[in-house]
Amino acid sequence: MPGFEIFGDEEKKEVADVLETGVLFRYGFEGVRNGHFKALEFEKKLCEITGAKYSHLCSSGTAALCTALTACGIGAGDEVIVPGFTFVATFEAIINVGAIPVFSEIDETLCLNPDRLEDVITSKTRAVVPVHMCGAMARIDEIKIFCDKKGLILIEDACQSLGASYQGKALGTFGTSGCFSFDAVKTVTCGEGGGIITDDKDVYEKADQFADHGHDHLGGPDRGADDHPIIGTNYRISELNAAVGLAQLNKLDQILSTQRKNKLAIKDAMADLPGVSFRYIPDAKGDSATFLSFFLPTQERARQIAKNLADNKVGCPYWYDNNWHYYKKWHHLKEMKRSAKLAVELADNLRDYTNIVLKESDNIMKRTISMQIMLSWSKQDIENRIQAIIKSFKG
């Protein structure tokens, strides 16, 4: 990852198709677009890859999360369980639909711990959003069992894990809906883009409508003939972005194969390093291999190794100090810095986030380092990296 490492003639061709017609809008204009519907093609391909019945392409992963939550009926005052290790978009989307994020512990999958969900469930809990972080899966089968037992809606945030699977089933297909991101640094990129998959026709239709001002898209060539069954917003993707993503999506098998090969080479070289243990992946065959995540015995050792790696020009994220992905640094959430009142505030349901404490998650994240796996590494690049890693552990 990311897909932009392998931009080539395929992306140029798909974009040229759009530019030659001059139709950048994903709907209508059938008479001049010369049969090119790049967003629609992308959606069909995403269904083919994941095995989902329905797919909708939108403007970002955040838009996908907002749309999926809304299409599943999550709204004002509903509590939604999420992990404290995720990108900020996960809780932003929940707040933006008027719902309330409730943070729960992770385990050594670096994803939600199904054994701790019971600790945070209340009478207001409506949904669980596990986040398949850094390219691999949560214990999604156990999370699904919990949701089914409790009557909760399961929405998967698979924004970082396109192409990953569990027991042969694509991530994003275990819940009512799954969400992906196709932004500039994802495995497959549209530049900006996101996608929703579902097997539920009603959820799909609501998602399709909500992301385009409530249009039902049944008016044919005359967009003005569309009805508006629901109130929506504008989360549309342009044909240019979809065109780039379509070319990338057709390369997914190549991308996954390269990532897995490169990750295995690094992991094998690190296997005997002192104090190193690796992230637990419930189904190693289903790992999309975008990151190699490993643990050190203590926080102090993890910080030292992270510094040594950076000094040796193989810098890796130390998530515990990361501004975007771990709850410790979400000061804007803790202080509720915003430009206007939130819908959940009007209902007097917003939680106090100033004193979030996730002790089990802290113990894991203090010791965690993740190495991004790149597509463009040559054999020599990998060998150089291995030597730099070994040097970092000697320092």
Residue with tokens 């699977």: 165
**pLDDT for 287:** 98
Q: Which residues pair with 291 in a beta bridge?
A: 372
338 has pLDDT over 90: no
Taking CB atoms within 8 Å and a gap of at least 24, the contacts of 294-298 are: 294/270, 294/368, 294/369, 294/370, 294/371, 295/108, 295/364, 295/367, 295/368, 295/369, 296/367, 296/369, 297/367, 298/366, 298/367
Q: Report d(CA 59, CA 236) in Å as an integer.
A: 5
Amino acid at 20: E
Statement: residue 344 has pLDDT above 90: no
Fold type of domain 3-251: Aspartate Aminotransferase; domain 2 (3.40.640)
pLDDT in tens, 96-145: 999 999 999 999 999 999 999 999 999 999 999 999 999 999 999 999 99
- 83 phi and psi angles, rounded to 5 deg: -80, 160
Mean pLDDT of 345-371: 88
Residues 30-36 have a mean pLDDT of 93
Q: What is the pLDDT of residues 205-248, one digit of tens each?
A: 999 999 999 999 999 888 999 999 999 999 999 999 999 999 99
pLDDT of 348 higher than 70:
no
Number of H helices, E strands in the chain: 13, 12
262 contacts 373 by C-beta, under 8 angstroms: yes
Q: Mean of the pLDDT values across residues 364-370?
A: 98
pLDDT confidence of residue 351: 83
In 3D space, the residue among 269, 271, 289 whose CA is nearest the CA of residue 281 turns out to be: 289
Specify which residues 83 forms β-bridges with.
104
> What is the per-residue pLDDT for 335?
85
Mean pLDDT of 53-61: 98
Break the chain into its structural domains and give their ranges.
Answer: 3-251, 253-394
Structure tokens that stand for 45 in this block: 């391909």
Q: What pTM does this model have?
A: 0.96
Which residues is 125 bridged to in the sheet? Answer: 79
* CA separation for the pair 33, 14 (Å, rounded): 13
Question: Which residues belong to the active site?
Answer: 186
- CA–CA gap between residue 79 and residue 178 (Å, rounded): 18
CB under 8 Å to 248, separation ≥6 — which residues?
A: 3, 11, 182, 188, 189, 190, 255
Cα–Cα distance, 341 to 221 (Å, whole number): 40
C-alpha 239/C-alpha 141 separation (Å) is: 36
Closest CA relative to residue 356, chosen from 319, 322, 326, 325: 326
3-state SS track over 93-136? HHHHCCCEEEEECECCCCCECHHHHHHCCCCCEEEECCECHHHC
Indicate if 253-394 has the same CATH topology as 3-251.
no
CA distance 113 to 105: 6
Q: Which CATH class is domain 253-394?
A: alpha beta
pLDDT at residue 308 is higher than 80: yes
Is the predicted pLDDT of residue 289 greater than 70, yes or no?
yes
Lowest-confidence segment of 3-12, 216-225, 293-302, 346-355 by average pLDDT:
346-355
Q: Is the pLDDT of residue 349 over 80?
A: no
What distance in Å separates the CA atoms of residue 46 and residue 196, rounded to the nearest whole number? 9
Q: Which pLDDT does position 347 carry in this prediction?
A: 60
Question: Residue 155 corresponds to which amino acid?
Answer: I
Residue with tokens 């291999």: 289
pLDDT at 345: 67
pLDDT in tens, 386-395: 999 999 999 6
CA dist., res. 147 & res. 68, Å (int): 17
pLDDT higher than 80, residue 341: no
